[in-house]
């Protein structure tokens, strides 16, 4: 008998009598204003919400705010001309020097300001992590109240990789002092499009 | 060294003990603030608990479903009966890849299996990439907390350690500066390592995928840049459905650090193009624990660390005093399963106050299990005989009213006439505290005299 069979046999022998799944495992959150809640939580966890009307305003904001960053990748079709070079790399290691990545999120979650980013949106899986700064573009209408709603909407496993991103990377490992910018992006701005 | 000896050593430094206590209580308070914002918190805990009960009661079927789906996704699945087999599988994968260097993100399972020591002995260079884990790795120590591995380190000491190993300025202790130094140091590792190992927070039977939660982004930096991604998981990490992630991700970070969710909740299903992905499913004593009706619920644990942050004993004795990969209350009910003799002291490292059970996001009856382990360990002969004799003596006094009254009176007189007889270092109750004034009379005496008046 190999380990697989041994483990499965031991579980079969030792597991308790069958217990059904709970009938209630999803809950509703009543937030009167989803964008306000999302923005409040995002600020709390170190991110910056930016409300704009449309892509044109989004572009203006990004140009103004990140004018000092030379190497910009944009994976958002409507904002593709913000990219500073082609960045159509084969090897993800080549993204090491990216200063700013602009990626479109699929939807956001008000209760924790997490944004779902499947790999298709970033081109390379590592892009939203390896860049120094990250801008996520999100339709303000694409915010769901809580994570139960999120998984209702999401087809887990459809993408080979997908990630909920909530705020910039951070650590509090040194004496519980919060430091923004651990190994992933040092900052996160979420640009919320109101007319889309 | 057993827990109480190690704790005695730790508490010798009174200021450090107070600092450690306060730091962890601060995290507990953050947890409370986050939890109080969720009106349905108790119902959410109940749901989490019951999903885990279901998962354990059907674990073999779910593991098979998970394996089948993972294979369909192009992931290689391995099974390891114990820590040694797990380590051998990792080594074999590295050999096949031709990798002699590996980056690793946080995995308490690999701590339990002593993977680092094993690989280093075989000539593999392993680098822990979580900041706290890197600190304890450079210091040649195990983590002292499952979520905050170097919670027992002061920033000045980390500054000194980094000065020695990473060449930071001498005397520098600013957390921002030190974290930046670690970022630069580890970025080079991420860029050059061809193999990455991560832990698994949740494995979804329905989809064959797994979720890894981090704040630093180190698991993703490692996994997405390496040619080979190895994910190690205990058999109990299984949850039945993808939608159950909604329940557990709402519970996990709030319980752990008071965050609404970790910065990254990464859902891995298929290797990226040109990459190989492996999952190692590990037993290492878990099936035995599953067979103990009183203790199987410990397998529901989602490793948030809330029970440690709230525990009055953990906060004042430090994680290393538990001499086990997982410390604190949860570690104390997991460890005796692995080795009763070695860990017989741990279920006694508790006041049984029950705070751990109150904060547990999946409602594990931790303090009840601590109490039950004491019974088992005593019955199996793993408890110190002096403790047993003391208990027997106490039982005979407490069950004999005359003897009880006599002993009480004798004790009070003795304390009054010869305080030194109790206020001396031979009496463990005298350690670090003053003995109370002996009362003039017992409650019973007072009651009887009151009738006479």
Question: So what's the pLDDT on residue B365?
Answer: 98
Q: Does A43 touch chain B (CB under 8 A)?
A: no
Which residues on A lie below 8 Å from B235 (Cβ)? 7, 11
In B, minimum Cα distance to A146 occurs at: B246
Alpha carbon B321 to its chain centroid, in Å, reads: 12
State chain B's mean pLDDT as an integer.
96
Which residues on B lie below 8 Å from A130 (Cβ)? 221, 224-225
Domain end, chosen from B227, B249, B284, is at B284
**Number of domains making up chain A:** 1
Question: So what's the pLDDT on residue B430?
Answer: 85
Judged against a pLDDT cut of 80, whether residue B423 lies above it is answered with yes
Name the pLDDT band for B290 (thresholds 50, 70, 90): very high
Question: Same domain, yes or no, for B264 and B403?
Answer: no
Question: So what's the pLDDT on residue B177?
Answer: 97
Q: Do B215 and A45 touch (CB under 8 A)?
A: no
Within-domain flag for A6: no
- Confirm if B246 and A147 have CB atoms less than 8 A apart: yes
- pLDDT, tens digit, 9 for 90 and up, residues A150-188: 999 999 999 999 999 999 999 999 999 999 999 999 999
Q: Does B26 touch chain A (CB under 8 A)?
A: yes
Assigned token pair, B21: 């206590």
From B196, B203, B233, B194, select the one nearest B218 (Cα to Cα).
Answer: B196
Work out the percent of chain A whose per-residue pLDDT is above 90: 95
Name the pLDDT band for A28 (thresholds 50, 70, 90): very high
Cβ atoms within 10 Å, residue B6: 18
Within-domain flag for B208: yes
Q: Kindly report the backbone phi and psi dihedral angles of residue B110, in degrees, each rounded to the nearest multiple of 5, phi listed first.
A: -70, -25
- pLDDT, tens digit, 9 for 90 and up, residues B73-94: 999 999 999 999 999 999 999 9
Question: So what's the pLDDT on residue B7?
Answer: 95
Within-domain flag for A1: no
Judged against a pLDDT cut of 80, whether residue B304 lies above it is answered with yes
Question: Tokens 């099974």 correspond to what residue?
Answer: B79
Domain span holding position B438: 399-452
Cβ atoms within 10 Å, residue B396: 11
Domain span holding position A189: 31-193
Question: So what's the pLDDT on residue B431?
Answer: 81
In A, minimum Cα distance to B211 occurs at: A163
Q: Kindly report the backbone phi and psi dihedral angles of residue B104, in degrees, each rounded to the nearest multiple of 5, phi listed first.
A: -135, 135
According to DSSP H, which parts of chain A are helical?
3-14, 34-44, 55-65, 119-122, 127-130, 147-153
Judged against a pLDDT cut of 80, whether residue B113 lies above it is answered with yes
Q: Give the pLDDT mean for B137-152.
A: 97
Within-domain flag for A26: no
For chain A, the helix, strand and coil percentages under 3-state DSSP, each to the nearest 5: 30, 20, 45
Judged against a pLDDT cut of 90, whether residue A85 lies above it is answered with no
- Confirm if B80 and A3 have CB atoms less than 8 A apart: yes
Judged against a pLDDT cut of 90, whether residue A73 lies above it is answered with yes
Q: Give the pLDDT mean for A66-71.
A: 94
Q: Kindly report the backbone phi and psi dihedral angles of residue A164, in degrees, each rounded to the nearest multiple of 5, phi listed first.
A: -85, 120
Say how many CA atoms lie within 13 Å of B23 toward its Cβ. Answer: 23
Question: Same domain, yes or no, for B280 and B403?
Answer: no
More reliable by pLDDT, B243 or B434: B243
- Confirm if A128 and A134 have CB atoms less than 8 A apart: yes
Domain end, chosen from B250, B284, B318, is at B284
Q: Report DSSP state, residue B106.
A: -
CA dihedral B178, B182, B185, B187 (to 10 degrees): -140
Q: Give the pLDDT mean for B385-394.
A: 86
What sign has the CA pseudo-torsion B322, B326, B327, B332?
negative
CA dihedral B382, B383, B386, B392 (to 10 degrees): -120
CATH number of the domain residue B262 falls in: 3.40.50.10420
Please report, for residues A18, A105, B238, the alpha-carbon distance to residue A155 in angstroms, rounded to integers and kept in the order given.
Answer: 28, 15, 18
- Confirm if A62 and A102 have CB atoms less than 8 A apart: yes
Question: So what's the pLDDT on residue A87?
Answer: 80
Q: Give the pLDDT mean for B270-299.
A: 97
**Number of domains making up chain B:** 2
Interface of B with A in 290-309 (CB under 8 A): 290-291, 293, 296
Identity of the residue in B148, B218, B250 whose CB atom sits nearest the CB atom of A183 = B218
- pLDDT, tens digit, 9 for 90 and up, residues B4-27: 999 999 999 999 999 999 999 999
What sign has the CA pseudo-torsion B304, B309, B314, B318?
positive
Within-domain flag for A51: yes
Interface of A with B in 124-163 (CB under 8 A): 124-126, 129-130, 146-148, 150-152, 154, 156-157, 159-163
Lowest mean pLDDT among A177-186, B226-235, B386-395: B386-395
CATH number of the domain residue A144 falls in: 3.40.50.10420
- Confirm if B104 and B98 have CB atoms less than 8 A apart: no
Within-domain flag for B33: no
């Amino acid at each position: 008998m190999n380990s697989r069979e041994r483990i499965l046999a031991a579980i079969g022998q030792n597991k308790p009598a069958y217990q059904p799944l709970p009938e209630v495992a999803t809950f509703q959150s009543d937030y009167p204003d989803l964008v306000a809640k999302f923005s409040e939580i995002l600020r709390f966890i170190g991110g910056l919400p930016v409300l704009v009307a449309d892509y044109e305003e989004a572009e203006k904001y990004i140009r103004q705010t990140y004018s000092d960053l030379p190497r910009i990748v944009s994976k958002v079709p409507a904002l593709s001309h913000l990219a500073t070079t082609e960045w159509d790399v084969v090897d993800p290691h080549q993204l090491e020097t990216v200063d700013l990545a602009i990626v479109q999120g699929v939807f956001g979650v008000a209760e924790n300001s997490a944004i779902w980013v499947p790999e298709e949106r970033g081109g390379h899986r590592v892009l939203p992590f390896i860049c120094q700064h990250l801008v996520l573009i999100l339709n303000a209408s694409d915010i769901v109240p809580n994570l139960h709603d999120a998984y209702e909407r999401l087809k887990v496993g459809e993408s080979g990789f997908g990630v909920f991103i909530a705020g910039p990377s951070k650590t509090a490992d040194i004496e519980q002092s919060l430091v923004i910018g651990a190994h992933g992006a040092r900052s996160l701005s979420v640009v919320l499009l109101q007319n889309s | 060294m057993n827990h109480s000896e190690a704790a005695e050593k730790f508490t010798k430094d009174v200021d450090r003990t107070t600092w450690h206590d306060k730091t962890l209580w601060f995290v507990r308070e953050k947890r409370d603030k986050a939890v109080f914002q969720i009106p349905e918190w108790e119902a959410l805990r109940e749901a989490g608990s019951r999903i885990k009960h279901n998962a354990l009661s059907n674990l073999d079927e779910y593991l098979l479903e998970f394996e089948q789906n993972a294979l369909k996704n192009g992931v290689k699945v391995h099974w390891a009966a114990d820590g040694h087999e797990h380590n051998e599988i990792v080594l074999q994968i590295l050999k096949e890849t031709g990798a002699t260097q590996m980056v690793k993100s946080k995995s308490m399972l690999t701590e339990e299996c002593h993977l680092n020591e094993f690989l280093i002995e075989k000539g593999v260079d392993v680098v822990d990439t979580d900041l706290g884990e890197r600190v304890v790795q450079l210091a040649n120590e195990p983590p002292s907390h499952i979520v905050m591995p170097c919670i027992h380190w002061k920033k000045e000491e980390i500054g000194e350690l980094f000065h020695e190993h990473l060449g930071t300025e001498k005397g520098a202790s600013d957390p921002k500066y030190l974290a930046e130094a670690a970022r630069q140091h580890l970025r080079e590792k991420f860029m050059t390592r061809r193999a990455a190992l991560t832990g698994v927070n949740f494995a979804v039977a329905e989809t064959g995928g797994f979720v890894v939660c981090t704040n630093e982004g180190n698991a993703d930096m490692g996994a997405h840049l390496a040619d080979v991604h190895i994910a190690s998981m205990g058999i109990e990490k299984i949850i039945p459905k993808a939608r159950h992630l909604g329940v557990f991700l709402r519970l996990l970070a709030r319980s752990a650090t008071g965050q609404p969710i970790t910065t990254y909740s990464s859902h891995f299903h298929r290797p990226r193009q040109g990459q190989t992905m492996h999952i190692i499913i590990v037993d290492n004593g878990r099936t035995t624990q599953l067979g103990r009706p009183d203790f199987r619920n410990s397998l529901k644990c989602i490793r948030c660390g809330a029970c440690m942050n709230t525990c009055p004993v953990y906060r004042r004795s430090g994680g290393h005093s538990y001499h086990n990969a997982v410390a604190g209350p949860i570690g104390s009910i997991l460890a005796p399963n692995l080795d009763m003799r070695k860990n017989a002291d741990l279920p006694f490292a508790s006041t049984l106050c029950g705070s751990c059970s109150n904060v547990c996001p999946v409602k594990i009856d931790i303090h009840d299990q601590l109490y039950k382990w004491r019974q088992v360990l005593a019955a199996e002969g793993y408890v110190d005989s002096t403790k047993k004799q003391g208990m027997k003596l106490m039982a005979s006094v407490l069950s004999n009213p005359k003897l009880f009254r006599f002993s009480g009176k004798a004790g009070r007189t003795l304390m009054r006439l010869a305080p030194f007889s109790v206020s001396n270092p031979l009496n463990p109750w005298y350690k670090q505290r003053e003995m109370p004034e002996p009362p003039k009379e017992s409650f019973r005496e007072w009651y009887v005299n009151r009738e006479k008046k």
